[in-house]
Structure 1
Amino acid sequence: MNIQKATFANGCFWCTEAIFQILKGVKSVTSGYTGGQTSNPTYMEICNGDTGHAEAIEIEYDADEITYNELLLAFFKSHNPTTLNRQGNDVGTQYRSAIFYHNAEQRQQAKDMIIKLTNEHVFDKPIVTQVVSADVFYKAEDYHQNYYNDNNLKPYCMVVIQPKLNKFIKEFVEKIKPELL
């Protein structure tokens, strides 16, 4: 296996965790916080918007099964990268769109993907996604991990996450783990 790491912030980590968990080649997804100045932040501190951190996911994936570019495409297709510090009803810098690259190759691929999507007019507005170097990633509290799978009958999961997941599966069906179809 060729295990690599990717780190993305694209809104509520409950939603993004659920999406990336179903992709072939993704071995683990951890919800957490990164990109800010507060050490060992808590969810309550993140919600106040004072830490500078974003809700993010850290992915371990097998690069022989799924490429970083495929993960980038899933990232861009699973949220609105044109809204600054906002995803749906979630507002604040903690919900910003950001790619936290782990090496120069990831940085270049992220920048190239933004140029490609811009040139193809995939979005009606300019992409505001930050492309920044990965820093310390703080794992979120245990109750945030595997949230959708453990709480899929809760109203938020049924009303917000499930429709996003259904839409994503239709668009990426060939990349979904077969046991989940």
Structure 2
Amino acid sequence: MQTYVLAGGCFWCLDAAYRALEGVVSVESGYIGGSAPSPTYEQVCTGTTGHAEAVKVTFDEELIPSDVILDAFFTMHDPRQLNRQGNDVGTQYRSAMFPADDAQRETFERAAERAADWWGGGLVTTMEPLGDWYPAEDYHQDFFTKNPGQGYCLAVAVPKVNKVRARFGEYARR
């Protein structure tokens, strides 16, 4: 098993898209990269804590390659948008990767290089230290499954899930 911590906009979208892939064992939404201890969603939304909305993705490398996990990350968000994804604006929506060790950092850097080619350059994705992880409140966990008719999910999460399913169909859950 391998676990990656990644931030690329609203964690509801990342969570939903990763849960659509076979081999993903668990996804936890949470906060990382900031200075305030045990931040709440409301605090993170102010943009003053320094935390990013992120996901902790645990996957079985025998079922889904790490490159697919990372290429899906760069597919489900626009890594050229600084501190935003669409209408979600603020440092809490930044594109960031949090490697656990040097091996992960190298894997993440290679993925960012591939993504720079697809996106035509201009990536603003940062590599940040894997600091303290704070799980998001329970109502944020698996939000899309619990709230499939919610407006944000329909307008923003569904297209991202569909994009990942289309690009990585052989790994899509049936």
TM-score under structure 2 normalisation?
A: 0.95
| Local SS of the residue matching 2:119 | coil
Match of 2:72 in 1: 74
Match of 2:169 in 1: 173
Of 81, 84, 93, the match for 1:83: 81
How far apart, in 2, do the equivalents of 1:174 and 1:145 lie? 25
Match of 1:127 in 2: 123
Alignment of 1:22-33 (within 5 A): 22-33=20-31
How far apart, in 2, do the equivalents of 1:167 and 1:112 lie? 22
Match of 1:14 in 2: 12
Contact 1:68 1:106 (8 Å CA) reproduced? no
How far apart, in 2, do the equivalents of 1:90 and 1:18 lie? 17
| Local SS of the residue matching 2:39 | coil
Contact 1:81 1:128 (8 Å CA) reproduced? yes
Structure 1: unaligned runs, 5 residues or longer: none
How far apart, in 2, do the equivalents of 1:155 and 1:161 lie? 10
How far apart, in 2, do the equivalents of 1:133 and 1:52 lie? 13
Count of residue pairs the alignment pairs up: 174
Contact 2:5 2:99 (8 Å CA) reproduced? yes
How far apart, in 1, do the equivalents of 2:155 and 2:31 lie? 24
Listed one character per residue, the Cα deviations across residues 75-96 of structure 1 (whole Å, up to 9, x for unaligned) are 0011000111010000000000
RMSD between aligned residues: 1.2
Match of 2:154 in 1: 158
The residue identity in structure 1 corresponding to 2:137 is E
Of 133, 143, 160, the match for 1:147: 143
How far apart, in 1, do the equivalents of 2:151 and 2:160 lie? 14
Match of 1:42 in 2: 40
How far apart, in 2, do the equivalents of 1:102 and 1:25 lie? 20
Listed one character per residue, the Cα deviations across residues 11-60 of structure 1 (whole Å, up to 9, x for unaligned) are 00001100011111110000000011111000000000011000000011
TM-score under structure 1 normalisation?
A: 0.92
The residue identity in structure 1 corresponding to 2:56 is E
How far apart, in 2, do the equivalents of 1:117 and 1:144 lie? 28
Identity of paired residues, percent?
Answer: 43
Match of 1:110 in 2: 108
How far apart, in 1, do the equivalents of 2:152 and 2:111 lie? 31
Contact 2:71 2:115 (8 Å CA) reproduced? no
